[in-house]
Structure 1
């Protein structure tokens, strides 16, 4: 399975030395032997050994951090956003996802503070989950607005609720509309358009990038 890659901004402000060409370096994402950087505002994707037009060379990279060389100086940049994202106000949080072997995108996240693994579904009008999942997440869905939804198994009863907080890789949205379907379908919560419609979504083949709009 291809790695799921989280893009959290680790900001490095380089000292104002006149001989140093790069003034600001932001680590947007890391995976094995590859890093996505923002260098003085320009987004660069580097593999180990490659050097950006600004002169930043990627020495090594894994999911924990990267080592780069800038103007002859080598430095380590940890990706600490997995625990506590560090986001610069000029650099919105981004999440980069890679499709699995079946072509589906999954994203680790949280609903009201509970850990979940979403299935990204652009065809779903809202975030959706089973009543079994809602109970596990301590969501009082029966106080939601009742209705019905058509599924592959037929028409099932559904409750429309508002989720206090949905977090996907550091992209945090509040008061997100969701549908809770009675039973155990869907198996995984669906990340639908009530969330995706509020972020910038770019898909390039087997890669999808989500960026918070504001």
Structure 2
């Protein structure tokens, strides 16, 4: 084999060794990002490096600025960068457990931003009447009268169908919700009417939601 052929082979081999890693942003938190690098998932704070030296330069509610092999690249939530990479087949959202032991995640209801509390014990997405009014839900006209059981007893409520509920890149249409009379619950609950339509489970201290 001639010297030139050896040189070309060597360069090709070097390129293979230094191929860009597959990088995915699967979770976003204040000053931290959950990265998935070639299948390795890790929570990495801004200014720190994660698997394969991928550094988190900055992060916001939509994505992160990462330094990959010395080059800064903007990657949105549930988007990948890498050779031949594209949007994942199934969008994922990773949620870190709070100090109180609960899972909180930003999202939206019919286009209005909300902060969800994940509640697997709630049969549906649930909120109080003040929260529903803030989100523009005309539950008294469009809702179905219900009586629901809570930790404090039975409460009057209205059943409605939300046109959309979105968490990260996972958006579901036609989600059932309960609007409870009075101030409870104090949070918008992401209940089973949403969770039963996605795949979910705990991985290394994170709650991972994945579109079906």
Normalised TM-score (structure 2) = 0.75
RMSD across aligned C-alpha pairs, in angstroms?
2.7
- Between Structure 1 and Structure 2, which shows a larger proportion of helix residues? 2
In the TM superposition, 1:114-193 aligns within 5 A as 114-142=112-140, 143-193=142-192
Match of 2:207 in 1: 208
Distance 1:26 1:135, change over 3 A: same
Larger radius of gyration: 2
Asked if 1:58 corresponds to 2:57, the answer is no
Asked if 1:27 corresponds to 2:14, the answer is no
Contact map agreement 1:110 1:168 (CA 8 A) in 2: yes
SS of alignment partner, residue 78 of structure 1: strand
Match of 1:10 in 2: none
- Structure 2's unaligned 5+ residue stretches are 1-10, 81-85
Q: Choose from 111, 114, 130 the match for 1:113.
A: 111
Distance 1:183 1:60, change over 3 A: closer
1:89 positional shift: 4.5
Normalised TM-score (structure 1) = 0.74
1:23 positional shift: 6.2
Q: Choose from 90, 93, 112 the match for 2:91.
A: 93
- Write the deviation string for residues 173-201 of structure 1: whole angstroms up to 9, x where unpaired: 00001111111111111000111111111
1:99 positional shift: 1.3
SS of alignment partner, residue 20 of structure 1: helix
1:109 positional shift: 0.6
In the alignment, the residues of structure 2 paired with residue 153 and residue 38 of structure 1 have an alpha-carbon distance, to the nearest angstrom, of 45
1:66 positional shift: 1.6
In the alignment, the residues of structure 2 paired with residue 159 and residue 187 of structure 1 have an alpha-carbon distance, to the nearest angstrom, of 17
Contact map agreement 1:178 1:194 (CA 8 A) in 2: yes
Contact map agreement 1:33 1:61 (CA 8 A) in 2: no
Distance 1:114 1:46, change over 3 A: closer
